[in-house]
Amino acid sequence: MPPAERREPAWWFAFQRNKLLVRMESSRVSLPWLVNFEEVGLIPICQHYLGSLDGRHCFAVELAEEVETPPGMTLEGLRQVHGRLDEDLFWTAARAVQIVEWDRTHQFCGRCGVRMNARPTERAKECPRCGLLHFPRLAPAIIVLIERGKQLLLARSKRFATGMYSVLAGFVEPGESLEEAVEREIREEVGLNVRDIRYFGSQPWPFPHSLMIGFTAAYAGGEISVDASEIEHAEWFTVDNLPPLPGKISIARKLIDAFIAKHRHEEEFSRHRG
């Protein structure tokens, strides 16, 4: 629930589609910090209260497609502002863009077609005619690093930047457990079997509304055979021989960095033992 009365400034996460309104300050970007969003000189289509961050209220705002950015401000994709915006504000922006996108794309009931109402007490929309409820949409996806001794499997999708390799990922299907999704994706994309599937960590991925659930798995058999519709090339690599990797923002990179740290440590340990 938004505060009933507010005199102090708040953070404003304003999006035009998936681009965030920011002020560029050399290598840093900053967000509007104002009592009312209209002070930037724009009228939003709607605003959503997000909660508070370190005692400061945060709002998400949707901008019309045709608005012009105020002087000194630009609209930037979230990937472009990562590392240039405070980390907590960045992940709040990742939450904000998903709420704005959900609101924009769930204006009408999917069953009977009438305009949905916002529920006052929770983040949900309700159809006034048939009662259908919509909650913000999340698409769970698994992401998995496959180990074989000192090697890890990395693959190239056709969608990747030139030369870049990453770990395998894919959406969870209805009726599937996360572990089953891991086994199926690996079988489909590279034709391998795995064992010892272990949870690694998770990360929201607002492009546009995924939740990435990370795992490690051990190679258990099979020869690499790529599904050419999804994967261009897949190969075993060692930590001394890695291709260009995804950026630090991604859980893919955290999985790979954890593998590198573990194997560097093992190498040093065996060197010390002589």
> Which residues are near Zn ion by CB under 5 A?
109, 111-112, 127, 129-130, 132
SS3 content of the chain, % helix, strand, coil (to 5): 25, 40, 40
- The Cα–Cα gap between 144 and 124 comes to 32
**For Zn ion, which is the closer residue by CB, 35 or 130?**
130
**For Zn ion, which is the closer residue by CB, 79 or 129?**
129
Closest C-alpha to 20, from 66, 78, 95: 78
CB 175 within 8 A of CB 184: no
**For Zn ion, which is the closer residue by CB, 37 or 102?**
102
Min dist. Cβ of residue 108 to Zn ion (A): 8
**For Zn ion, which is the closer residue by CB, 109 or 154?**
109
**For Zn ion, which is the closer residue by CB, 119 or 262?**
119
Min dist. Cβ of residue 134 to Zn ion (A): 10
Min dist. Cβ of residue 131 to Zn ion (A): 7
Min dist. Cβ of residue 116 to Zn ion (A): 8
From the number of C-beta atoms within 10 Å of its C-beta (0-12, 13-18, 19+), residue 32 rates as buried
**For Zn ion, which is the closer residue by CB, 115 or 158?**
115
Q: What are the C-alpha distances in Å from 155 to residues 68, 140, 149, 222, 268?
A: 41, 21, 18, 16, 28
Closest C-alpha to 219, from 156, 145, 169, 168: 145
Min dist. Cβ of residue 132 to Zn ion (A): 5
Min dist. Cβ of residue 194 to Zn ion (A): 43
Min dist. Cβ of residue 113 to Zn ion (A): 7
DSSP 205-226: ETTTTEEEEEEEEEEEE-----
**For Zn ion, which is the closer residue by CB, 112 or 218?**
112
DSSP 116-145: PEE-SSSS-EE-TTT--EE----EEEEEEE
- The Cα–Cα gap between 168 and 154 comes to 7
Give backbone dihedrals phi and psi of 268, rounded to 5 degrees, phi first: -65, -40
